[in-house]
Amino acid sequence: MSENILEMQNVTTCVNEGTSEEKEILKNISLNVKRGDFITLLGTNGAGKSTLLNVINGSLSPRSGSLKIAGNDVTKLSVVKRARFISQVFQDPKAGTAPRMTVAENLLLAKRRGQKRRLKLRGLNNALPEFSELTKKLPNGLSERLNTFTGDLSGGQRQTLSFLMATMGNPEILLLDEHTAALDPKTSQQLMELTQNTIEEKQLTCIMITHHLKDALKYGNRMIILKRRQNRA
């Protein structure tokens, strides 16, 4: 029987807490995610999909409840400290990469993610053959643009790079927040195929937000639907 990689117990979150605009987004949410699960997450706007991911990645602290990742209590841990467990790809292709650094420099950062920081030569030239081989498997011709500034890439190339960076270190949990939504249909399909193949090959645990029921049914082994809470008078 697979172990639980994520355990959420009775998590409640609020926005604008302590003001007249205070609003509960999630209430007493409990969720167990087993290692190797590929969960697709559906729900209307405002139902709390991105809020749920923000609670998992640590950018939003719950008002109550607890979270464990790989048996470690992370309820009080910051985003930075949770980064050794979690990688995320956002909807905006600009969100996951450094625009003034080249493709190869971004990949080098991703390769060293979670390692202790210390002064040393970066060794970019030594890593170029590895990055060339790695990107040859990808769509969008990234292997020919290793020395291109990321800000000069197309949206599809940049999002593909973000996905590659997020999965290089085999994270305990991969969070995908509508990571194909800003792309054209062809590029979106290419990235979804890459997503499925990478998750299967590396046996990653993933939670993916999508608005497309077809994708939710096609990809993943579990589907969760969040329902928007109605405000009571």
Among the listed residues 36, 37, 24, the one whose alpha carbon sits nearest the alpha carbon of residue 65: 24
Per-residue b or e along 16-50, where b marks 16 or more CB atoms closer than 10 Å to that residue's CB: eeeeeeeeebbeebebebeeebbbbbbbeeebbbb
Show me where the domains of the chain are located.
Answer: 4-115+122-226
- Judge: domain 4-115+122-226, CATH 3.40.50.720: no
pLDDT in tens, 20-39: 888 888 999 999 999 999 99
The gap between the terminal CA atoms of the chain, to the nearest Å, is 45
Averaged confidence pLDDT in the chain: 89
Higher pLDDT, 223 or 84: 223
The total number of residues written for the chain in this structure: 233
pTM over the 0.75 mark:
yes
- Helices (DSSP H) in the chain: which residue ranges? 49-57, 79-82, 103-111, 124-136, 155-167, 185-202, 213-218
